[in-house]
Structure 1
Amino acid sequence: MAIAMQQRMRELRSEWQDLGADRPFELRIGIATGFCTVGNFGSEDRMDYTIIGNVANLVSRLQAHSEVGGILIGNETYALVKDTVATEEQTPLTVKGFAEPIRCYKVLGIYDDFVEEGRVIREERNGMRLVIDLQKQDKDGAIELLESVLARLRR
């Protein structure tokens, strides 16, 4: 959904610029996985709908460190989507409220889209998964690696 949101925002930004907007709206997205508390907090005099918890703070830190138009996800989220979403690990973030640096990943796109574009070769069978990112690996290097794997399988 975050990828679709960023794509739609790029489309809208272009439309807004055509209409003369000097500074079209832009956004950064941070995504984390965990438990938090969401709801109305306060008293009868003042009530706010909000979110509290460690994961809410993490999302805020990820969003703040994301590039404009980018998506940054935490390590727990990465573990859940790594087979579907192409990412690039970033330098761990040292942020307020967290004792240890936070592992995070920049979202590049969805593997299925990259396969359609010819940027990635991806095959899956029972007990085997192959992903070759042709943006990071040249064809000759990929062939060499695959031949090495085939040689080991033939032993």
Structure 2
Amino acid sequence: MSAPETQLAGFIARFTPDIAACGTEVLARLAARIPEAERLVYDNYNALAVGFGPDERASTVILSVAFYPRWVSLFFMQGAGLDDPHGILKGQGSTVRHVVLTQAGDLDRPEISTMIDQALVKAKKPLPVDGQGRLLIKSVSARQRPRRPGPDIG
């Protein structure tokens, strides 16, 4: 395992086994689906997020997987501009939308798979047509909320 992979595994290990397993499989499936994407890791205050984009800049990320204490979400960073005939996208901001994933297999649901394809096609900056993306640890917050649910996490 490379140093960034080892560091990411350590971040993921702080979550419950169910959340860690779901999120890890989601990351693996997306990395296999779009191997040319750079994977940017942000171990933030509220969540662990891994963005998939064409380069090292957070502003160009197309999809992001976020680990929370009770669920894993798939974020569409330009989701407000996507067609959502099934009404699966959550969020009301001017740009980002997301879906909560109950299991990694949710990526295979036609409405989610189609939304991923659409996000990749409509990206402001497309992914490279070939190559192998890298895993990059971009930031680690010194202060973080607990990664496992407890009585004080709602």
Structure with the higher fraction of residues in strand conformation: 1
**TM-score range relative to shorter protein:** under 0.3
TM-score by length of 1: 0.24
TM-score by length of 2: 0.24
Q: Whose radius of gyration is greater, 1 or 2?
A: 1
